Amino acid sequence: MITLIFPEELMLSWLLLKNNMSYNINEDYVGIVSPSAPVAAFCPKRLARGVEFLEEQGFHVLLSKNVSAVSGFTAGSAQDRAQDIMDMFIDKRVKIIIATIGGYNANDVLEYLDYNLITKNNDKMFIGYSDSTILLHALNVKSGVKTVMGPMILPQFAEFPQMQKFSYDSFLEIINNLGTGKIYKIPASDKYTEEMLAWDKDDIRAREMLDNKSWQVISSGKASGPLMPANLNTLNELVGTEYMPDLNEAILFLEDDSDEEASTVQRMLMHLKQAGLVNNIRGIIFGRFQQKSEIEADDIKIILKNVFGDYNFPVISNLDFGHTDPILSLPVGNIVNIDTDSFMVEMKL
């Protein structure tokens, strides 16, 4: 069993850094925060396994004060969660900040963040998905922080027996090369899984993997624009706020969980349209919808026609991001190119 590392109990790890990472092993840390649900409190073994995996790869890990706090349905009060995030931005050792998990109510913290101070310390990267969509865009819009829709500690880094290689490879590709201008051709996984094993109880075996269907071209074409990844449900919570990203000429990477179905996806997209936010987008990429949602290619075509009418931008579905495993890491705002004829999606890092 590993020792969890808190700000007041720092412990250096002297493992050699793997994969030619650009971080200073003697000084730089991955900071872990819980901006939404208090799941880490109820799954201490899962949290420990995620930390252990990172340490085994050569990372130092710093847990926030309230990473395992419980305050009703959140991991501490809004002020506590905001302070944890601020602590990670102020701490010069921390270069990557990763959420433990999503859930709800990350928007609680937005009014308590000091964006001017974050701007002065924005040489960091914030990573998460689902409810963390709130923070991905708020931090990027208000302070220019490099944010990435990507793996979180409990769902991905703590996978048994270890993090899936596809997810980890994509994570490394982004953290090592973001800002270099390297072209990253987005891959497709050979296998995926939706199996749910109760954490700290049944997650003592590898989950059953299924053969992955290929990407599905819903609408053909070529396009280029800034990559805007989001959990669709959560993105809608930013509409009308100062934290909403500019979607003009963007390529949307949208995903959601198994609680949504075709009707609710259409409703949320229609909300964005009626708010005047998606009238000039360049394309849409959908993450893999879970089987419970029963959303197929034909449903997506109906949704798009109902929302956009005779749209003429490319649309692809069934990519590996969001509520699926393994998952890609997708940096907010980077230029992405789509060519459905070549079955190609690539981004400039």
Residue 15 has pLDDT above 60, yes or no: no
Tokens (6 digits) for 51: 């930390």
Query: Per-domain residue ranges for the chain?
Result: 29-158, 197-348
Return d(Cα 233, Cα 176) in angstroms, integer. 30
Is the CATH number 3.30.1300.10 carried by domain 197-348?
no
- For residue 24, the model assigns a pLDDT of 52
pLDDT of 56-106, one tens digit each?
A: 999 999 999 999 999 999 999 999 999 999 999 999 999 999 999 999 999
- Which residues touch 55 (CB under 8 Å, ≥6 apart)? 2, 13, 15, 61
Please count the other Cβ atoms lying within 10 Å of the Cβ belonging to residue 312.
Answer: 9
Task: Quote the CATH superfamily of domain 29-158.
Answer: Murein tetrapeptidase LD-carboxypeptidase, N-terminal domain (3.40.50.10740)
Return d(Cα 29, Cα 24) in angstroms, integer. 9
**Are 29-158 and 197-348 equal in CATH topology?**
no
Residue the block writes with tokens 């924005």: 122
pLDDT of 151-197, one tens digit each?
A: 999 999 999 999 999 999 999 999 999 999 999 999 999 999 999 99
For the chain, percent helix, then strand, then coil, each to nearest 5? 30, 20, 45
- For residue 1, the model assigns a pLDDT of 30
The residues that bridge with 94 in the sheet, in sequence order, are 29
